[in-house]
Amino acid sequence: SAVISQKPSRDICQRGTSLTIQCQVDSQVTMMFWYRQQPGQSLTLIATANQGSEATYESGFVIDKFPISRPNLTFSTLTVSNMSPEDSSIYLCSAGQATGNTGELFFGEGSRLTVL
Amino acid sequence: GENVEQHPSTLSVQEGDSAVIKCTYSDSASNYFPWYKQELGKGPQLIIDIRSNVGEKKDQRIAVTLNKTAKHFSLHITETQPEDSAVYFCAANAGKSTFGDGTTLTVKP
């Protein structure tokens, strides 16, 4: 299993600013992902965080808006850039051991962002 | 890409009754089907999963069934308890996870 710590747990941000969310896993994991969850909605995959290389983004998400770093097997960051109220959401970090995302995912408790 | 539909969106049962949540998927390449439980203010947590080479799996009060031909899978919770109240998500994996829209289960004491 893996325990995932995310910070901040919540924040209120001003339009046009950027915020970086940190994700720390208590053990080395193969895969790390970032999801977005609107309140009361499902989870949407933003990108796969690749160790030492550029993240793999899903359709509708771009690196300029959501730059991601993963310097090692236990840590990743997601930045939400030039925020607008539409970016208000819960951002979830997840991790798994299986390649191809075919195994159990462990989730952090999420970072709830409100953009004014 | 994969499309996962989940029903019902809300489900209310009396304590002790059974609850069933159903999901359908579109991509025949999907081979891993997890179910997650999300409590208020927390991240989703895996409660049971099934792979495409298995038709049914049970873990105490929770069971999952898979029909690959029809491309649907279901979560069954028996003898429900108030602490089962949460949002449940199904997912289908064909290289990456696609989640259903979630079911809010309320168990009334």
Alpha carbon distance A21, B41 (integer Å): 17
**Residue keyed to tokens 């004491």:** B109
Alpha carbon distance B35, B48 (integer Å): 6
- CB–CB of B101 and A41 under 8 A? yes
Q: Which residues of B touch A101 (CB under 8 A)?
A: 93, 95-97
CB crowding B68-84: b at 16 or more within 10 Å, else e = beebbbbbbbeebeeeb
DSSP string for residues in B55-92 = SEEEETTEEEEEETTTTEEEEEE-S--GGG-EEEEEEE
User: Mind listing the pLDDT tens digit for each residue in B20-71?
Assistant: 999 999 999 898 999 999 999 999 999 999 988 889 999 999 999 999 999 9
Task: Count CB neighbours of A115 within 10 A.
Answer: 19
Give me the residues of B, 11-50, that contact A with CB < 8 A.
Answer: 31-32, 34, 36, 41-46, 49
| pLDDT value for A99 | 60
Alpha carbon distance A40, B101 (integer Å): 9
Percent of chain A whose pLDDT exceeds 70: 96
| pLDDT value for A116 | 96
Q: Which of A20, A4, A15 is nearest to A66 (CA)?
A: A20
User: Mind listing the pLDDT tens digit for each residue in A6-54?
Assistant: 999 999 999 999 999 999 999 888 889 999 999 889 999 999 999 988 9
Q: Which residues of A touch B98 (CB under 8 A)?
A: 45
Alpha carbon distance A21, A93 (integer Å): 9
